[in-house]
Each structure stands twice: as structure tokens, then as C-alpha cells.
Amino acid sequence: MPDDVLKELLHPNEKKIVLLVIDGLGGLPLEKGGKTELETAHTPNLDALATEAECGLHLPVGFGITPGSAPGHLALFGYQPMEYPVGRGVVAAMGIAFPMRAGDVAARLNFATCDQHGLITDRRAGRIPTETCGRLCDLLGAVSIPGVEVFVRPVKDYRAVVVFRGEGLSDHVADTDPQTTGVKALEPKPTSEKGVKTASTAKEFIRQALVLLMAQAPANAILMRGFAELPHIPPMTERFGLRPAALAVYPDYKGVSRLVGMEVIDGLRDLNDQAEALKHHWDRYDFFFVHHKYADSRGEDGDFQAKVAEIERVDAFVPQIMARHPDVLIVTGDHSTPATMKSHSYHPIPFLLHGRNTRPDEVSEFGERPCAKGLWGIIPGVMLVQLALAYADKLSKYGA
């Protein structure tokens, strides 16, 4: 539905919508004929919700497309990911609340280890702690490039973010991370004419950084990826008439939330904190994005049972959401991460939509196969927010 038409229908009210995202929720059976992680998990609370809810599967980007974290979440927030391409650098910068400006270019920076020949021996610098990362970023503050301001900020562990500010910068620059060890880091190469100045800026940044880091082994090298400019995204308040809050633990998810204008509740460390925050801020917002990361992490590890356990952990958390009596609750994931694949995947993701005026289907278990038989079949993920608005009575009738 075109933005301007939807805007005409918006009918804000006090009703509350909760979007509970179990990152990487969708999965696959360990062996043919078996159950997926979600189907294996003992989830009495989610099953009870599914029984009363409208169920289905969603595709965040498109048929056969594996979503990254940012597009997966943008879709769940109601933004067609292909209309709003968001690079990794921007997600990282937003995640630590770095105040990017139009024209800035951000990139993810990983501290790494190289040997005396400059060959990368560890792409994560022995997973140095965040404090070390902070100290190293301060050290890199000494980099000086004429005409370009440089900001280096720690994110978490070995991960940091660098932002270049100046005239004529762009994100048309390729990654320097070779994605393997035993080879040198790549040169930052422009991917088009537009990227020439940024690539040479990055090259000079790396040259000076390597000098500054010479005595800092295991963090004596850096790898850059995800050069990205800040996209213009209309905030959820303007687009959907919502007052949205993000209750996320991980920086990247705070980052995507900030991009769509959510207020980020900071300092949350786990589901208990998230439940407390939900209670504390309940009256202040009408859309709550609650994010749980570790189902994806354990899927990426290839640990089927650990992913099952994370899903069960979220199930046990569900009553703390229901204690608030949300008018609409959507439970889903941003993409699938089957433990058997150890990566994000293109499989559709189960969802349930719970609320007063839902039309129950015959699904009584929250899982991939049951949801495939749900009311909605497979829908574009970007439509979920529109459904949430409808079931929360926040959309008026279209036409006479």
C-alpha cells in the first residue's frame, strides 16, 4: 500500500503492540523426517498463543533470498528492505548510537592478528575484550587525514566502527577482509568512480593504523568491511503513527531500531531486564520491539540442541509479556538459521499474530509445519506491521 494512502488511514490510539523477535527462529530437521529446532522445543506458552492466534510464514526479502540481520529487521518494522538498503557500517554505527550525519561513510572495523610478513593469522585478534578494543580505538584517534575527519569507536570484543566525514565520500568501496587466514588483508578498492576518494582515505587510514598498532599484538592489524552511507528512512512515527521502543541487548539491533526512529531502551542485558523494561515503559510507547539474539547464535554455531534451549528460554519469558496484556502480539524471527546450515538461510519464518479479533485457524503448535497450514500461508514479512496496526484498531476503513 502506498505510504500516502496508508497515512490517510492511520488512526493512532493507546493500544499496545509487541513484536517479539527470536533471531534466526526458522530451522531445519537434523535428519530427514525429523523435527526442526522450533518443533523440537517444548514451548507450552507459544503453543497456547498459536492456538488462539492467526499463524503463517513470512519472507522478509523475497523467494530464495537469505536476509542479513538489517534487512530481516527492516522488513519486520514495515520497510521493504530493497527500498532501504542499509550497509553493515551504518548498522554498527547506529548500534553504538554514533551520531552519523548525511554524507558520512561508516565501516565495520575488526581488529586482527598478522605475522611478520603481514599475513593474517587470526581475523578476530584472539577475541580481545571490549576494554582493550576501546583502548585501541583511542590509540587510532591519532590518525590524521587532511580534509577528512576520522572517528573510531569500539563496538564489542574485537569489533569497532570507523566513520569518515568529509566532502565527496561514498560507500563505493570493497571490503578489505579476505574472509580467510594465511593471506594479506586486501587493499580498499573503489567499486566505482565515486569511491576513489573514500578508498584512498581508507588506504591512508590503514597505513597509519598499522604503524600505531605495531606493538599491540594480537591486535596488530585491522580489517574493514561494509562501507556504508546513512540512508534516509522515514521514522515509524511518521509512517505508521506509532511510538516505538526497542528492547534489545545487542548493539546491531539497537542500530537498526534507531534507523527507523525507535527509542532504544539502553542497558538491557538479558530477557529479565527486557521484561522489567517492558513493565517500566509500558505506558510510554505503543509499539515494543523485543529482541532475543541467541537462537541465531546457536544456529550459527551448528548447535541444534543449544538453539532448542534458547527457544525454550524465550517460551518461558512469554508469560512476562502476556502479563502486560498487549492488544497485539507478534512472535516471529528475522530470518531462519538452521543449525544444520550454520548460517542464515532463505527458508520462510513462522509467525503468530495474537489479538482480540484474530480469526483462529487450526494451528495449535508453534512450528514451521503447523504454521504452513495457518490462515496466512506465506506472506511478505513487510506486511506484518500493517496487520498489527489493523488488529490494534489503528487503521480506519479505506474508501466509501
Q: Pick from 18, 19, 25, 36 the residue near a second copy by CB under 8 A.
A: 36
Q: Is residue 232 close enough to count as binding a second copy by CB under 8 A?
A: no
- Smallest distance from a second copy to CB 108, Å: 9
Q: 121: helix, coil or strand?
A: strand
Strands 244-247 and 120-122: unpaired
Q: In the set 1, 183, 211, 323, which binds a second copy (CB under 8 A)?
A: 1
Our finding on whether 99 is near a second copy (CB under 8 A) is no
| Number of other CB atoms surrounding residue 316 within 10 Å | 13
Stretch that binds a second copy, among 66-74, 128-136, 193-201, 257-265 (CB under 8 A): 66-74
CA separation for the pair 220, 119 (Å, rounded): 11
Among 24, 29, 188, 195, binds a second copy (CB under 8 A): 29
User: Counting contacts by CB under 8 A, is residue 58 touching a second copy?
Assistant: no
Write a three-state SS string for 282-326: CCCCCEEEEEECHHHHHHHHCCHHHHHHHHHHHHHHHHHHHCCCC
User: Are 374 and 342 within 8 A, CB to CB?
Assistant: no
In angstroms, what is the minimal distance from the CB of 33 to a second copy?
A: 7
Residue 280's identity, in one-letter code, is: H
The separation between CA 5 and the C-alpha centre of its own chain, rounded to angstroms, equals 28
30 belongs to the binding site for a second copy (CB under 8 A): no
What is the per-residue DSSP string for 57-118?
EEESS-TTPPP-HHHHHHHHTT--TTTS---HHHHHHHHTT----TT-EEEEEEEEEE-TTS
Listed ranges 28-36, 175-183, 187-195, 203-211: which one lies at the site for a second copy (CB under 8 A): 28-36
Q: Is 231 in the site for a second copy (CB under 8 A)?
A: no
Nearer to a second copy, 170 or 220 (CB): 170
The string over 237-276, giving b where at least 16 C-beta atoms fall within 10 Å of a residue's C-beta and e elsewhere, is bebbbbbbbbbbbbbbbbbbbbbbbbebbeebeebeebbe
CA distance 343 to 341: 5
Contact flag: residue 383 with a second copy (CB under 8 A): yes
Give min distance, CB of 22 to a second copy, in A: 17
Total interface residues for a second copy by CB under 8 A: 68
Q: Which backbone phi and psi does 361 adopt, to 5 degrees?
A: -100, -160
Contact with a second copy (CB under 8 A): which of 186, 309, 360, 365? 360
Query: Does the footprint of a second copy cover residue 2 (CB under 8 A)?
Result: yes
26 versus 218: smaller Cβ distance to a second copy: 26
CA 160, CA 359: separation in Å to the nearest integer? 47
**Residues 323, 366 contacting (CB under 8 angstroms):** no
Taking CB under 8 A as the rule, does residue 386 contact a second copy?
Answer: yes
Of 20, 49, 67, 114, which lies in the binding site for a second copy, with binding defined by CB under 8 A?
Answer: 67
Least CB distance from residue 207 to a second copy, whole Å?
26
Contacting residues toward a second copy, per CB under 8 A: 1-2, 5, 9, 28-29, 32-33, 36, 52, 57, 61-71, 81-82, 85-88, 91, 226, 228, 338, 340-341, 343-348, 357, 359-362, 368-369, 372-379, 383, 386-391, 395-400
